[in-house]
Structure 1
Amino acid sequence: MDLYRLTATEASELFRKRELSPVELLESVIARTEATEPAINAVTEQWLDEARAAALVSEARFAGGEQVRALEGIPLMLKDEQSVAGRLLEDGCLLEQGNIADVTHPIVDRIQDAGAVIHGRTKTPEYCCSPVTHSKLWGITRNPWNPDYTPGGSSGGSGAVLAAGSTMLATGSDIGGSIRIPASFCGVVGYKPPFGRVPGMAPFNSDTYCADGPMGRSVADVAMLQNVLSGPWVGDAASLREVAAVSGAVGSLRGVRIALCINLGGYDVDPAVEANTRAVAAALTFAGATVDEVVLPWTPEQVQQTAWPHFGAVMGPFIESIVEGDPDRAAQLMPYTRAFAAKAAAGGDYVEGLVAESAFYLPFAEIMTEYDVMICPTVASTGLAADEPATDSDTVFSQLMTLPFNVIGRVPVLAVPSGIAPNGVPTGVQIVGRTYDDASVFRVGAALEQELALWTDPAWWPALQG
Structure 2
Amino acid sequence: MDIDELLWAGADAQAAALRDGSASAVELTEAVLRRIDAVDPTLNAFRTVYGDAARAAAAAAQRRIDAGERTPLLGVPVAIKDDLDVAGDFTGKGGRPQFPPAERDGPVVARLRAAGAVVIGHTRTPDRCLWPFTETLAYGATRNPWQLDHTPGGSSGGSAAAIAAGIVGVATGSDGGGSVRIPSGACGVFGMKTSRGLIDDGAGQDWHGLSVIGPLGRRVADAAALLDVIAGGPVDPAGGYRAAVDADPGPLRVALSWWTPLGKPPRIEAARRQAVLDTADRLRALGHHVEPADPPLGPRPSPQFLVRYLRGVADDVAGLPHPEWLEPRTRRIARLGGTIPDRVLARARAAEAGLHKRMSAFFGDFDVLLQPGWTTRQPRVGRYHGSGTTSTLAGVSLGIPYFPTWNVLGYPVAALPVGWDDAGLPIGVQLIGPADAERRLLSLSGQYERAHPWADRRPDPVYG
Say whether the fold is shared (TM-score over 0.5): yes
Query: Aligned equivalents of 1:154 and 1:333: distance in 2?
Result: 16
Q: Tell me if 1:260 matches 2:256.
A: yes
Query: Aligned equivalents of 2:51 and 2:254: distance in 1?
Result: 45
2:85 corresponding residue in structure 1? 83
2:272 corresponding residue in structure 1? 273
Measured against aligned partners, the alpha-carbon deviations of 1:274-319 in whole angstroms (never above 9, x if no partner) come to: 11112211111111111112124667x7543221211243222222
Q: Which moved more, 1:287-296 or 1:124-133?
A: 287-296
Q: How does 1:58-457 map to 2 (within 5 A)?
A: 58-62=61-65, 64-94=66-96, 96=97, 99-204=100-205, 207-231=208-232, 245-247=240-242, 248-264=244-260, 266-296=265-295, 303-322=301-320, 329-330=323-324, 332-345=325-338, 349-389=344-384, 391=389, 392-400=392-400, 401-409=402-410, 411-455=411-455
Measured against aligned partners, the alpha-carbon deviations of 1:210-259 in whole angstroms (never above 9, x if no partner) come to: 111211111111111101111379xxxxxxxxxx8323533444431111
Q: 1:232 to 1:344 in 2, by over 3 A?
A: farther
Q: Secondary structure at the match of 2:224?
A: helix
Structure 2 unaligned segments of length 5 or more: list them: none
Q: CA deviation at 1:106?
A: 0.2
Q: Secondary structure at the match of 2:31?
A: helix
Q: Tell me if 1:3 matches 2:1.
A: no
The letter of the residue matching 1:340 is I
Q: Secondary structure at the match of 1:44?
A: strand
Q: Secondary structure at the match of 1:89?
A: coil
For the Cα contact (< 8 Å) 2:207–2:313, is it kept in 1?
no
Query: Aligned equivalents of 2:462 and 2:327: distance in 1?
Result: 29
Query: Aligned equivalents of 2:181 and 2:373: distance in 1?
Result: 7
Query: Aligned equivalents of 2:71 and 2:308: distance in 1?
Result: 39
Aligned CA-pair RMSD: 2.5
For the Cα contact (< 8 Å) 1:43–1:121, is it kept in 2?
yes
Q: Secondary structure at the match of 1:369?
A: helix
Q: 1:463 to 1:356 in 2, by over 3 A?
A: farther
Q: 1:185 to 1:339 in 2, by over 3 A?
A: farther
Q: Which moved more, 1:147-156 or 1:315-324?
A: 315-324
Query: Aligned equivalents of 2:346 and 2:272: distance in 1?
Result: 36
For the Cα contact (< 8 Å) 2:15–2:72, is it kept in 1?
no
Q: CA deviation at 1:10?
A: 1.2
Q: CA deviation at 1:347?
A: 5.3
Q: Secondary structure at the match of 2:333?
A: helix
Q: Secondary structure at the match of 1:167?
A: coil
Query: Aligned equivalents of 1:171 and 1:268: distance in 2?
Result: 31
Q: Secondary structure at the match of 2:203?
A: coil
Q: Secondary structure at the match of 2:331?
A: helix
Q: Secondary structure at the match of 2:100?
A: coil
Q: 1:310 to 1:27 in 2, by over 3 A?
A: same
Q: 1:322 to 1:97 in 2, by over 3 A?
A: closer
Q: CA deviation at 1:126?
A: 1.0
For the Cα contact (< 8 Å) 1:174–1:211, is it kept in 2?
yes
Q: 1:154 to 1:354 in 2, by over 3 A?
A: same
Q: Tell me if 1:35 matches 2:33.
A: no
For the Cα contact (< 8 Å) 2:296–2:359, is it kept in 1?
no
Query: Aligned equivalents of 1:163 and 1:309: distance in 2?
Result: 34
For the Cα contact (< 8 Å) 1:84–1:104, is it kept in 2?
yes
Q: CA deviation at 1:464?
A: 3.9
The letter of the residue matching 2:425 is V
Q: Secondary structure at the match of 2:378?
A: coil
For the Cα contact (< 8 Å) 2:206–2:312, is it kept in 1?
no
TM-score normalised by structure 1 residue count: 0.89
Query: Aligned equivalents of 1:302 and 1:462: distance in 2?
Result: 43
Q: How many residues of Structure 1 are paired with residues of Structure 2 in the alignment?
A: 446
For the Cα contact (< 8 Å) 2:207–2:311, is it kept in 1?
no
Q: 1:55 aligns with which of 55, 58, 64?
A: 58
Q: CA deviation at 1:406?
A: 0.2
For the Cα contact (< 8 Å) 2:98–2:321, is it kept in 1?
no
Measured against aligned partners, the alpha-carbon deviations of 1:352-410 in whole angstroms (never above 9, x if no partner) come to: 3234434444544332111111111122222122223273313312321211100111x
Q: Secondary structure at the match of 2:195?
A: coil
Query: Aligned equivalents of 2:163 and 2:281: distance in 1?
Result: 27
For the Cα contact (< 8 Å) 2:224–2:245, is it kept in 1?
no
TM-score normalised by structure 2 residue count: 0.89
For the Cα contact (< 8 Å) 1:262–1:277, is it kept in 2?
no
Q: CA deviation at 1:45?
A: 1.1
Q: Tell me if 1:15 matches 2:18.
A: yes
Q: 1:271 to 1:360 in 2, by over 3 A?
A: farther
For the Cα contact (< 8 Å) 2:147–2:425, is it kept in 1?
yes
For the Cα contact (< 8 Å) 1:310–1:347, is it kept in 2?
no
Q: Which moved more, 1:67-76 or 1:314-323?
A: 314-323
Query: Aligned equivalents of 1:462 and 1:223: distance in 2?
Result: 27
Measured against aligned partners, the alpha-carbon deviations of 1:321-377 in whole angstroms (never above 9, x if no partner) come to: 4377xxxx53x4223313432443455721332344344445443321111111111
For the Cα contact (< 8 Å) 2:207–2:312, is it kept in 1?
no
Query: Aligned equivalents of 2:460 and 2:280: distance in 1?
Result: 25
Q: 1:140 to 1:306 in 2, by over 3 A?
A: same
Q: CA deviation at 1:97?
A: 6.0
The letter of the residue matching 1:73 is G
Query: Aligned equivalents of 1:252 and 1:449: distance in 2?
Result: 12
For the Cα contact (< 8 Å) 1:164–1:464, is it kept in 2?
no
Q: Which moved more, 1:335-344 or 1:114-123?
A: 335-344
Query: Aligned equivalents of 2:265 and 2:340: distance in 1?
Result: 21
The letter of the residue matching 1:336 is R
